[in-house]
Amino acid sequence: MDKDNKTYEINYLMTPLLPEDKAAEEAAVLRKVIEDNKGFVVGEDQPKTQKLSYPIKKFDSAYYGWFKFSAGAESIDNIKNGFNKNEKILRALVTEAGKENSAQFAPRYGAAMPKPEGASSEKAEKVEIKPEQIDKKLEEILKESSS
């Protein structure tokens, strides 16, 4: 891998008219587009049926898949064009990704929140206040406000 290469991710939506086995074959064709343009695939997710939030080219569902790959900046336009020329692709989006595994930074359900600076890990002492003390304090406040 060349040091000038960056890591990218391409997400794509494929027509739902294909049978599932043909969608997997088409994903292999898309992988070849990346490799033919001097890209090195480092991760991928096989296309899975996904309901769309809004219709795209009159479809309300599509096969969604992605590739994470490393390539030079000069290859990105060719890769994107290769995806867009494929008539089975409804939409494709290329983004620059970090080299780290992005899944490790995903928030976890029930994970402990970091404590603010200066926060004590000890529980505050519970102070018992008698109702007479509250009444006395209220009377003082009322006297001050009436004068």
pLDDT in tens, 63-108: 999 999 999 989 999 999 999 999 999 999 999 986 555 555 555 5
**Structural domain contains residue 115:** no
What CATH number has the domain bearing residue 56? 3.30.70.60
In a domain, 64, yes or no: yes
Q: How many domains does the chain have?
A: 1
Burial letters 42-57, b for 16+ CB under 10 A, else e: eebeebeeeeeeeeee
105 lies in some domain: no
Q: Is residue 26 part of a domain?
A: yes
pLDDT band at 125 (very low <50, low <70, confident <90, very high): confident
Query: pLDDT tens-digit profile of 5-44?
Result: 899 999 999 999 999 889 999 999 999 999 999 999 999 9
Per-residue model confidence (pLDDT) at position 97? 84
Residue 43 lies in a domain: yes
Domain span at 24: 6-100
